[in-house]
């Protein structure tokens, strides 16, 4: 096919007499390189190189303003005995696990609800995505205000309107309250993404399957577990990977609302890395904390790749 095309083009060319420039841009190898260069170049310089540099920095004692020397595993050793670091690891895992379970539970429910024939469907979808669109930091500030110790609207409703409690809740003052408050804010922000992605997955399931199941007398629970769940699984796996990845490496929400406090109880690994690295100036130690996240990310990536391959296989290679 391509051979005949080439011949045709060369046969036509003498009439046009193309310049050297045109001919250069018509040669396939040159074109491939020229097309890939901007994207691959940018990614190599600002993504791959810093990734390697970060790993190198983790093994040095670099501070802001002076270069560092190779110190081996010293940074990791000091982190090993660092209670604050282990606290951050614990909270990162806790935050990711709890927020992901809640996000997917509620998100799946919302997706199933939206999949019913609702009026104003597109308006509803637009409204639901709003928390995802608005800059996280700005909505986090709104949550901060809602979690205020004295003027929290949530406490106001619970105490003065409903009378369920006697005292205002100190949302951000005690470690566990602060931890749960942050998880709630993260879930609020994450539900739209999960719901809309899963809704797209739900809409690819052919209605004829449900009709067939109805005729066979399947209950709505059976229809969900036998049809919806298995067919949704591939897209669910991909969304799950992204959600876990971005929750695990979250920074903005925690930095905006608590900055790791009270008494370091809500530090995520990312916020701790930032605090030690940029304002604290210990770039080496900050990089070591950031690098400690990598094994987890690799796990998530492999998982995503397997899920993606399975999805391609299921849909005959015609996805994304």
Site for other proteins in 233-292 (CB under 8 A): 245-246, 249-252, 255-256, 269-270, 273-274, 277-278, 283, 286-287, 290-291
Q: Apex CA 227: angle with CA 223 and CA 231, to 5°? A: 150
Q: Which is nearer to other proteins, 131 or 175 (CB)?
A: 131
Strand, coil or helix: what is 111? helix
Q: How far is the CB of 313 from other proteins (least distance, A)?
A: 15
Q: What are phi and psi of 66, to 5 degrees?
A: -145, 145
Between CA 107 and CA 203 the distance in angstroms is 15
Contact string 139-168 vs other proteins (x = CB under 8 A): x-xxx-xx-x-xx-x--x---x--------
Q: Which long-range CB contacts under 8 A does 221-225 form with residues at least 24 apart? A: none
Per CB under 8 A, 43 contacts other proteins: yes
Q: Which of 14, 17, 38, 81 binds other proteins (CB under 8 A)?
A: 38
Between CA 127 and CA 148 the distance in angstroms is 26
Between CA 310 and CA 193 the distance in angstroms is 22
Per CB under 8 A, 301 contacts other proteins: yes
Between CA 246 and CA 186 the distance in angstroms is 11
Per CB under 8 A, 47 contacts other proteins: yes
Q: How far is the CB of 182 from other proteins (least distance, A)?
A: 14
Q: Which of 75, 186, 197, 243 binds other proteins (CB under 8 A)?
A: 197
Q: Which of 3, 12, 72, 162 binds other proteins (CB under 8 A)?
A: 12
Between CA 252 and CA 139 the distance in angstroms is 10
Task: Give the footprint of other proteins on residues 104-143 (CB under 8 A).
Answer: 106, 109-110, 113-114, 116, 118, 122, 124-139, 141-143
């Amino acid at each position: 096919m391509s051979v005949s095309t080439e011949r045709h083009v060369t046969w036509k060319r003498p009439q046009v007499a193309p310049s050297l420039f045109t001919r250069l841009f018509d040669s396939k190898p040159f074109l491939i390189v020229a097309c890939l260069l901007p994207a691959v170049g940018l990614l190599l310089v600002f993504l791959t190189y810093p990734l390697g540099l970060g790993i190198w920095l983790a093994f040095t004692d670099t501070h802001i303003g002076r270069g560092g020397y190779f110190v081996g595993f010293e940074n990791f050793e000091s982190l090993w005995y660092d209670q604050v670091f282990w606290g951050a690891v614990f909270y990162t895992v806790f935050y990711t696990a709890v927020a992901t379970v809640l996000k997917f539970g509620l998100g799946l429910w919302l997706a199933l609800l939206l999949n019913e024939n609702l009026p104003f469907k597109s308006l509803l979808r637009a409204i639901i995505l709003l928390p995802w669109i608005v800059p996280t930091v700005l909505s986090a500030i709104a949550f901060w205000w809602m979690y205020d110790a004295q003027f929290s609207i949530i406490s106001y409703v619970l105490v003065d309107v409903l009378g369920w409690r006697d005292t205002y809740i100190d949302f951000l003052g005690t470690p566990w309250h602060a931890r749960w408050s942050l998880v709630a804010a993260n879930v609020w922000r994450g539900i739209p993404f999960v719901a809309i992605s899963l809704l797209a997955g739900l809409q690819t399931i052919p209605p004829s399957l449900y009709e067939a199941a109805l005729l066979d007398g399947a209950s709505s629970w059976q229809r969900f577990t036998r049809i919806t769940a298995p067919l949704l699984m591939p897209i669910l796996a991909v969304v799950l990977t992204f959600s876990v990845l971005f929750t695990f490496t979250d920074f903005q929400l925690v930095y905006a609302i608590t900055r790791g406090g009270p008494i370091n109880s809500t530090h995520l690994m990312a916020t701790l890395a930032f605090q030690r690295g940029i304002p604290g100036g210990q770039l080496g130690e900050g990089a070591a904390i950031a690098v400690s996240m990598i094994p987890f990310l690799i796990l998530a990536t492999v998982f995503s790749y397997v899920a993606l391959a399975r999805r391609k296989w299921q849909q005959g290679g015609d996805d994304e």
